[in-house]
Amino acid sequence: MEFLENARFFMPMLLEGALVTIQIAFLSLALSTVLGLTLALMRLSSLRILYVPAVTIITVLRGVPILVQLMYIYFVFPEIGIELSAFSAGWIGLGVAFSAYHAENFRAAILSVDRGQYEAALSIGMGKVRLMSRIILPQAVRIALPPYGNIAIMMLKDSSLASTITVAELTRSGQLIASSTFMNMTVFTLVALIYLAMSLPVSALNSWLERRFSAK
């Protein structure tokens, strides 16, 4: 009973944090998807000027901890004249960091589409752009979806890393409340439950998409 009473008291503050978490997760997912697809297509290109930078970027993003990348954007970038708010640094940093994982997923999905599909599309006179957008990507989407859902949930949870650069999202709200009330058990249980509650719709949405794309 005491837990419920405390919960009712902390909930509004925690939900405010959760709202920020949702915003960060949503913005960084959108950014990382676009960047990831771009990197994947660059990496698959036969032009050195495209795939060498893509491989380099992916290697760096995967090899440096996301936490360090966030610190870099928030604390180092201002020294070279790029000043971002904590919130912007958070979602942009996460979006860039995760684009490498999306890129590798998209690349694998595109490569798994049968060679014959390329040849059939070429044989009716399609150019590269139409071949990709009309024939290959629609088929790759179906293959990429299950891992995409995994990455999306990872991003939702890893948005908590933004707490380290002072973004007032869910984890940071929890930390602030806990450190002033010492009710660690209550606060962090609530935080965990809210993360879980947010991840469920993402899973559901993804399985719905998977069903829709595999119906044919």
Between vectors from CA 125 to CA 119 and to CA 127, what angle results, nearest 5°? 85
- DSSP per residue, 174-208: HHHHHHHH--HHHHHHHHHHHHHHHHHHHHHHHHH
Query: Which window, 26-34, 86-94, 123-131, 148-156, contacts another protein (CB under 8 A)?
Result: 123-131
Among 13, 50, 126, 176, interactor with another protein by CB under 8 A: 126
Q: Where are the beta strands (DSSP E) in the chain?
A: none
Nearer to another protein, 2 or 119 (CB): 119
Q: Give residues with Cβ within 8 angstroms of 207, minimum separation 6.
A: 149
Among 134, 197, 200, 207, interactor with another protein by CB under 8 A: 134
x-or-dash string of contact with another protein, 102-121, rule CB under 8 A: ------------x-xx-xxx
- The length of the chain in residues reads 216
- Least distance to another protein, CB of residue 119, Å: 5
- Least distance to another protein, CB of residue 135, Å: 6
Nearer to another protein, 67 or 126 (CB): 126
Query: Using the rule CB under 8 A, is 81 a contact of another protein?
Result: no
CB 106 within 8 A of CB 141: no
